Structure 1
Amino acid sequence: MNYLKYTQYVYLLIAVAFIYDGITKLSEPEGTYWLSFLIAGVSVFMFFFRRKFSKKFDDHYKKK
């Protein structure tokens, strides 16, 4: 179960990848860059959500 502490950082890697993808798509006339930035934003949100949940989970078992 120790690996779950490190899986939250995968969301940051995904966010960086989609930010890069969005920046490269800014010059394209199709205008699909906003989807990449949206996915990056959700990934950053998930990183902080998982981090908060992990801390809450650890605190719960420290009290027992």
Structure 2
Amino acid sequence: MGKYLKYTVYINLVIGILSAFMAFNLWGVDRNRAYIFIFLAVITIFMFFFRRHYYKKFEQRKKDSQQ
């Protein structure tokens, strides 16, 4: 299970980048949809850093408890 959690963190980053790209493409056409994609990009990039921080914290805790 732990192996999969390491990679799911990066799914948030990919979704955030794709959302920012979609917002950029929609900016001139439909600004309301672009705002939704900007919001999605901000949230998913925040979740990437948040989950990565806690994943590293739990891994460090696991290493410390094994020693």
Q: Would you call these one fold, judging by a TM-score over 0.5? A: yes
Residue of structure 1 equivalent to 2:64: 63
Aligned pairs (5 A) from 1:33-48: 33-48=34-49
Deviation (angstroms), 1:24: 1.2
Aligned pairs (5 A) from 1:10-49: 10-49=11-50
Q: Could you state the TM-score of these two structures normalised by the residue count of structure 1?
A: 0.89
Residues paired across the two proteins, number? 64
Normalized per residue, the structure richer in helix is 2
Unaligned runs of 5+ in 2: none
Q: Does 1:4 pair with 2:39?
A: no
CA RMSD of aligned residues (A): 1.2
Q: 1:36 to 1:29 in 2, by over 3 A?
A: closer
Percent identity, aligned pairs only, is: 31
Q: Distance in 2 between matches of 1:14 and 1:27?
A: 21
Q: List structure 1 runs of 4+ shifted beyond 3 angstroms.
A: none
Q: 1:29 to 1:56 in 2, by over 3 A?
A: closer
Deviation (angstroms), 1:33: 1.0
